[in-house]
Amino acid sequence: MSVQWYPGHMNKARREIEEVMTQVDIVIEVLDARIPDSSQNPMLNTLRGDVPVLRLLNKKDLADKSRLDLWLEHWRGSETVLAHPFSTLDKADVGRISQWVSQMVPHRGSAEKPIRAMIAGIPNVGKSSLMNALLGRRVAKVGDEPAVTKAQQKLKVTNGFQILDTPGILWPKIENPDASYRLAVTGAVRDTAIDYEDVALVGLKFFIADYLDALMTRYKLKDISTDPYDVLRVIGSKRGALRSGGKVDMHKAAEVFLNDVRTGAIGPYVMETPEMIAHEERLVEEAKAKKEAERQARLAAAVPQRQQASNRAYRNNQTQQTDDQAQSTKHDENTNDKQ
């Protein structure tokens, strides 16, 4: 099972990004600091080609700093990735952007040759918020749901720096099913494309394993089951997510929990470590290799079947010919007898 969401407007946005990429000096890829790996769009990487990228791990105020440091360490020394923890709410961070960008594109930055930056990334990570923060006024619509921006918007920050806001895009097939659920937990996937209860259970499983204390504190739990379903029921009953008759409404309970996760009410967290991603990538590769081996085996089995079928057809044909010959010989003999 996995979550997939690639509506038509994203395909259009992808084409438009591709069209303008040749006029872009740098891509500012906004990531969600709570999912540093899964919020990277592989399709954007391909579209970007050799254009340098500045990766901003946005919403750092919602992220667990110690885990974020693991990622910074993991990427340190890489020539292709310049990543910084970031928050559009932090004025000092916003103030550093033009310096980071100029560092990466030193040959531009004048009024004649302004730095042309494209802000891109998955939905709901804070791209339009970044655009507004850079301009110091509300020029782009911002919202706490994915797919708020539907069209590109270009603006001048200073004479030497212009930026382009783009709609958030995912990609046609998210190969790692766990990653797809993490995108749903953090709010990059539209609600109508997910099963709330499923996504909440995945989120709870993660919090039980990695941030148990924060979870227990948030919901004032003295003890806790290791079964996410039981925990969701308890959360629902504590927070009044009930049906008539007093039974817990699991969908409402899931809404309460996911809202708390997305707004950071449970506390700061990061859902991924480099080690965990390496392990999941191995599993994805193994699953792909297994699927391919099964496909080859089916093909190999189909060849003898086809061969047998054609042998049978050949044999039938031969038998028919022999019978015909026999008939014709008999007919000849009969004719000769009569003569």
Ligand X SMILES: Nc1nc2c(ncn2[C@@H]2O[C@H](COP(=O)(O)OP(=O)(O)OP(=O)(O)O)[C@@H](O)[C@H]2O)c(=O)[nH]1
Residues forming the site for Mg ion (CB under 5 A):
127-128, 148-149
By CB under 6 A, the residues from 80 to 119 that bind ligand X are: 87-89
* 61 near ligand X, judged by CB under 6 A: yes
* 36 near ligand X, judged by CB under 6 A: no
* 155 near ligand X, judged by CB under 6 A: no
* 40 near ligand X, judged by CB under 6 A: no
59 is in an annotated binding site: yes
**Rounded distance between C-alpha atoms, residue 32 and residue 125, angstroms:** 6
Give the residue closest to ligand X by C-beta. 168
Q: What is the DSSP letter of 273?
A: -
Which structure tokens are listed for 268? 């700061």
Q: Contact, 141 vs 129, CB < 8 A?
A: no
Q: Which stretch binds ligand X (CB under 6 A): 147-155, 202-210, 229-237, 305-313?
A: 147-155
Residues in contact with ligand X, shown as a per-residue x/- string from 190 to 229 under the rule CB under 6 A: ----------------------------------------
**Rounded distance between C-alpha atoms, residue 61 and residue 333, angstroms:** 102
Cβ burial of 41 (10 Å; 0-12, 13-18, 19+) is buried
* 123 near ligand X, judged by CB under 6 A: yes
Helices vs strands, H then E, count in the chain: 11, 6
Which structure tokens are listed for 204? 């709870």
238 is in an annotated binding site: no
CA atoms within 13 A on the CB side of 252: 13
126 is in an annotated binding site: yes
Contact partner, 41, from Mg ion, ligand X, none, Cβ < 5-8 Å per class = none
Q: Which of 254, 138, 267 is nearest to 191 (CA)?
A: 254
Among 48, 74, 127, 262, binds ligand X (CB under 6 A): 127
Contact partner, 59, from ligand X, Mg ion, none, Cβ < 5-8 Å per class = ligand X
Closer to ligand X at the Cβ: 28 or 147? 147
Helix (H, G, I), strand (E, B) or coil at 104: helix
The amino acid at 191: D
Among 101, 125, 134, 189, binds ligand X (CB under 6 A): 125
Helix (H, G, I), strand (E, B) or coil at 119: strand
Cα-based distances in Å from 286 to 137, 176, 283, 291: 49, 12, 5, 9
Q: What is the CA angle 82-94-136, rounded to 5?
A: 145
Contact partner, 144, from ligand X, Mg ion, none, Cβ < 5-8 Å per class = ligand X
**Contact footprint for ligand X (CB under 6 A):** 58-59, 61-62, 87-89, 123-129, 142-144, 146-149, 167-168
What residues form the annotated binding site for GTP? 58-61, 124-129, 168
